[in-house]
Amino acid sequence: MTRLVLAIDTATPAVIAGVLRREDSGDIAMLAQRITVDAHAHAELLTPNVVAAVADAVLTMENIDAVVVGCGPGPFTGLRVGMATAAAFGHALDIPMYGVCSLDAIGGQTTGEVLVITDARRREVYWARYRDGVRIDGPGVAAPTDVPAEGAELVAFAQPSPAGLVAAVGDWAADADPLIPLYLRRPDAKTLAERAR
């Protein structure tokens, strides 16, 4: 069965939207993508990127069969934007939503021993280690000097691709699990009670 898939990720400074065709064989074809790099405008740019990618693919939203979204790790606000947008489209169109680790969308496309890192701000990085495209350690958050990098090729500050997001879905036949963000640390924002302490 051919599926038309909307792929979204906001776990890095990139605002990613892509429309892809996925065959049961696992073959993935990119139909259109819109990627804008702006760490402070995920909320403003994501929906326009989605709408533009769907239009570029000469489709309508009603043609989309599934949504795949990167669930991090990433900054709290960025992840909320991407996941809430994916959930809104999924619920509105009554189609399955698949959440994947954003680092898997990068590391899952590699061979050999690879360490993938993305910017976690606060002088830290998010990281995960892969062997021939399979995650063997992580995800985690740490200072760059504390990341276990020995013997691995470094893929630093990359961003997921729409095709990588779609490829990271483990089982298309299974019912999609609820979308759960990979928050690896507490958000920067604090409640009034937390600030009073």
pLDDT for the residue numbered 176: 84
In whole angstroms, how large is the CA radius of gyration of the chain?
17
- In SS3 terms, the chain reads as CCEEEEEEECCCCEEEEEEEEECCCCCEEEEEEEEEECCCCHHHHHHHHHHHHHHHCCCCHHHCCEEEEECCCCCHHHHHHHHHHHHHHHHHHCCCEEEECCCHHHHCCCCCEEEEEEEEECCEEEEEEEECCEEEEEEEEECHHHCCCCCCEEEECCCCCHHHHHHCCCCCCCCCCCCCCCCCCCCCCCCHHHHHC
pLDDT digits (tens, 9 = 90+) for 17-66: 999 999 999 999 999 999 999 999 999 999 999 999 999 999 999 999 99
189 has a pLDDT exceeding 60 = no
Interval 80-93 mean pLDDT:
97
pLDDT for the residue numbered 185: 78
Pairwise CA distance, residues 164 & 7, whole Å: 9
Measuring CA to CA, which residue among 32, 68, 72 is closest to residue 166?
Answer: 68
Nearest-5° Cα angle at 51, 164 to 89: 75
190 has a pLDDT exceeding 80 = no
pLDDT digits (tens, 9 = 90+) for 141-180: 999 999 988 989 999 999 999 999 999 999 998 888 899 9
Q: Which two tokens stand for residue 189?
A: 């924002």
Interval 176-197 mean pLDDT:
75
Mean pLDDT of the residues in the chain? 93
188 has a pLDDT exceeding 90 = no
Domain boundaries, the chain: 3-187
pTM value is: 0.92
Tokens 């993508």 — which residue? 33
Q: Which residues pair with 152 in a beta bridge?
A: none
pLDDT for the residue numbered 175: 85
Question: Which range has the worst mean pLDDT, 67-76, 91-100, 148-157, 179-188?
Answer: 179-188
CATH fold, domain 3-187, is: Nucleotidyltransferase; domain 5 (3.30.420)
